[in-house]
Amino acid sequence: MRLVIVAVGRLKAGPERELCARYLDRAGKSGRVLGLSGPDVIEIAESAARRPEDRMADEGSGILGALPDPGAVIALDPRGRETSSEELAADIAALRDRGVRALSFLIGGADGLSEAARGRADRLVAFGRATFPHQLVRVMMAEQIYRATTILSGHPYHKA
């Protein structure tokens, strides 16, 4: 199963980009033996529209156009359900075992995800109740994907 992060904005050179790349590389290496490919990152341009609703709509169109089809979608949204790393790993394994070809994780821009993007999601997931910059959320998602691969492979990285 192909893992994809579809995110609004670009990570500029710096510590966030380096950390994200490190987790994506680790996840790619550990995921291969589990039947997972990627994780790939698809970056969607930030909208220049004036109104937040218009920015979310523009970015949402880009997100929806970039989704692999067919596939499952998990959207990161503060209104979503908090999930543990173990639950996320189990969800990834269950989708893989059902023969789902791709699993995309959606990360909106500064204004969040459009209703259309949230509506396309099979599940909304929150990284707690705090607000995080969308660039940092990308690093956190990459780490959680790596953590999921270590959980599924029984690696000691995850110390629950």
Binding residues for S-adenosyl-L-methionine: 76, 108
| 63 CB-near residues (< 8 Å, 6+ apart) | 6, 8, 44, 106, 108, 113, 114, 117
Question: To which residue do tokens 């490190």 refer?
Answer: 22
Query: Directed axis angle between helix 15-32 and helix 134-153, to 10°?
Result: 20
Q: How many angstroms separate the CA atoms of 127 and 153, rounded?
A: 23
Backbone angles phi, psi at 76, to 5 degrees: -90, 120
Residues of the binding site = 76, 108
